[in-house]
Structure 1
Amino acid sequence: MMTTIPKTMMGIQLIGHGGPEMLQYRDDIPVPTPTPNEVLIRVSAAGVNNTDINTRIAWYSKNDGSSSDASWSGNTLVFPRIQGADVCGTIVAVGDNVSTKRIGERVLIEPCLSESNSQPLNSPWYYGSECDGGFAQYTVVAAKHAYAVNSPLSDIELASFPCSYSTAENMLTRANVTSLDKVLISGASGGVGSAAIQLAKARGAHVIAITSPSKNRQLLELGADQVISRDADLVEALGENSIDVVIDLVTGKQWPQFLRLLRPGGRYAVSGAIGGALVELDVRTLYLKDLSFFGCTVLEPEVFQNLVNCIEQHKITPIVAQTFPLKEINKAQDIFLKKKHVGKMVLKVSEQ
């Protein structure tokens, strides 16, 4: 180690499944030590996202809220847990197998992990779920998941990218979106939706965004070619067989309309179900139209570097709706859940 590292740090610990009271601020948490393949990062900023809240309330459980399968991976969550998957910070120490030249790098953490504690994982983990994340002054991660980023953007702006934008880029990658495609994005004003607009436009696609009318102007400014109300009859407004790709972050009651909108050979990618997880599928539509469905969670290997490249090439713009001190995480999550904002809520962890 080439810099003085304190023995304890401040952070937010999740102590159990439940409401906001399960998040406890502490200033005596031991600073983690990097194992041979890991780096220690001083966290500057960390974004708020649905995954942290879903994990806290045991939303991922398919057993009537049982805590036995309530983590992102379907396993039992270990408490206390430091959440936080949207992380920007600086490498301040490295493990034995990592070059000391990396000390001082400003990095973004890839939230979908294939290695932890210097061991390969049999199935992927999510940062801040199966292991501690970034809602603290310091965090460790495998060096391969800490991506150097060279950008004039602030740490707060950079912290708006990792989860939302990698999720969006992964969906576009899985659905093989190109400049020839007409893409429909649900939940387009949220973190992933607004990211998907920008990243789809970076690929040259024609983008139609579904949102509430009050957010139309903001999404058009982001690059959407057309905006449609989430309460509209989508088939009537757009026409059957008019869409090449649906990027769905909502599901819910509109879901059958998406299949009617897709042209024969169309692609449907999903990575969220805030509108309702259970939908009605007419399997005949699936096979008679030769549709392809993509459930998107684990990032394809090239996705995060592609995202960093887009940041460095100024192809995408950070959208920070509001910032809060880390201590005010409950306030940030409460405002986040009201869904009145466009972009990301970001917590300030350490001074830049």
Structure 2
Amino acid sequence: MTTTNSASAGLSALPRTMHAVLLNGLGGLDRLEYRTDVAVPQPGPGEVLIQVRAAGVNNTDINTRIGWYSKSVGQATASGGARGFERVDATDASWSGKGLEFPRIQGADCCGYIVAVGCDVPSSRIGERVLVRNMLRSHVGFRPFECWTFGSECDGAFAQFAVAPAGETHKVVCDWSDAELASVPCSYSTAENMLHRVHLGAERVLVAGASGGVGSAAVQLAKRRGATVIALCSASKADEVRALGADQVIDRRADLFSVLGENSIDVVLDVVGGEQWPDFLRVLRRGGRYATAGAIAGPLAELDLRTLYLKDLTLMGCTFQDDEVFSNLIAYIEAGEIRPVVAKTFALKDIRQAQEEFLNKGFVGKLVLIVPETAG
């Protein structure tokens, strides 16, 4: 095994510029600029350079672009997804609660091949097919409950090349397409992290937003753990969600309390929030657990504290991920235990169209951007 000690290995044969999508500030789709003359990044010590082949589209890409993470925003993602919000406090509009640096290359989902390595990284890693853990820990010294989001606090995968920490770039051996692999990092790690936090077993679990990227992942991952899965989605998507493994599918507009009854659910997994949120607590059994990793239907909710304490409920916010969460996902892939659903692919240059379709929510699974391999 050869390790580079000073200069980066593999860079001499690479182009100096690349195609990339730049986010030039908070706002609407017009803030996304497709460029063909962006400098190829250089891997530093302990880093690898990845030739990106595919990158998934996620809520976080849109939420970051429009500044939805700022406490100054109280609306649902879709209300500002295309045009942005009229007023946003840019100083806290990120995962970390700090202002973003622009221009930024977004993209939390990265599937590609290592083409160069920085010093102290074995040159034998060149050629590996990899996924990048989207919740990066190395940038914050691996401190508990701190992380950087790939494509938010640092540049991500909406480009032909991306730099990532070598220790958080995972080799994957499987027969999946690039688009399928690019569906995994953000959605599947978010879903697996919620299951990990609540220690889900062979229980009754309600998955809100079950047709989306995180929701469809949660259905599969919960079934893998032996759970009985009740999925919440629009009626038009029921058959597709049932095919993912859901035992019961409920129309998202239904009265949950009437359909399920009080104290009928062990665990709720939620990335939706919004007006239906109080019903999630009503259907939870005494001692039940609720986990959230998103609130696309609205971040503000009304909580009756009597429901919380009289039912001995546990409410969990899930962002930070223990190291084993992503490692476990790689193992599931290689063992053939999960398989994502790719609804549609787009060329990287068509990112605005992809995000518009994402906001319309007329699909099940993931939308994925295919990155051109050459500068032409």
Aligned-pair CA distance for 1:260: 1.1
Match of 2:237 among 211, 215, 223: 215
**C-alpha distance in structure 2 between counterparts of 1:63 and 1:331, whole Å:** 27
Aligned residues: 349
Match of 2:141 among 107, 114, 120: 120
| Structure 2 stretches lacking a partner, 5+ long | 1-8, 74-87
**C-alpha distance in structure 2 between counterparts of 1:351 and 1:77, whole Å:** 29
Aligned-pair CA distance for 1:222: 0.4
TM-score by length of 1: 0.97
Residue 228 of structure 1 is matched in structure 2 by 250
Residue 174 of structure 1 is matched in structure 2 by 197
**C-alpha distance in structure 1 between counterparts of 2:114 and 2:227, whole Å:** 37
Q: Does 1:161 align with 2:169?
A: no
Residue 242 of structure 1 is matched in structure 2 by 264
Residue 342 of structure 1 is matched in structure 2 by 364
Q: Does 1:38 align with 2:61?
A: no
| Per-residue deviation, residues 190-232 of structure 1 (Å, max 9, x unmatched) | 0000000000000010000001110010011000000001111
Residue 169 of structure 2 is matched in structure 1 by 146
Aligned-pair CA distance for 1:289: 1.0
Q: Does 1:191 align with 2:205?
A: no
**More strand per residue:** 1
The DSSP-based 3-state class of the residue aligned with 1:79 is coil
Aligned-pair CA distance for 1:121: 6.4
Conserved in 1, the CA contact under 8 Å of 2:10 and 2:117? Answer: no
Matched to 1:187, the amino acid is G
Root-mean-square deviation over aligned CA pairs: 1.2
**C-alpha distance in structure 1 between counterparts of 2:355 and 2:256, whole Å:** 31
| Per-residue deviation, residues 57-86 of structure 1 (Å, max 9, x unmatched) | 111111351111111211110000000011
| Structure 1 stretches lacking a partner, 5+ long | none
Q: Does 1:110 align with 2:119?
A: no
| Per-residue deviation, residues 5-62 of structure 1 (Å, max 9, x unmatched) | 1111110000011111100011111111111110000000001101011111111111
**C-alpha distance in structure 2 between counterparts of 1:31 and 1:332, whole Å:** 24
| Per-residue deviation, residues 84-120 of structure 1 (Å, max 9, x unmatched) | 011100001111111111111000010001124xx73
Residue 78 of structure 1 is matched in structure 2 by 101
**C-alpha distance in structure 1 between counterparts of 2:259 and 2:17, whole Å:** 57
Identity of aligned residues (%): 59
**C-alpha distance in structure 1 between counterparts of 2:365 and 2:33, whole Å:** 26
**C-alpha distance in structure 1 between counterparts of 2:340 and 2:207, whole Å:** 18
Q: Does 1:202 align with 2:229?
A: no
The DSSP-based 3-state class of the residue aligned with 1:274 is coil
Conserved in 1, the CA contact under 8 Å of 2:160 and 2:373? Answer: no
Residue 2 of structure 1 is matched in structure 2 by 10
Deviating more after overlay: 293-302 vs 206-215: 293-302
**C-alpha distance in structure 1 between counterparts of 2:190 and 2:96, whole Å:** 16
The DSSP-based 3-state class of the residue aligned with 1:183 is strand
The DSSP-based 3-state class of the residue aligned with 1:307 is helix
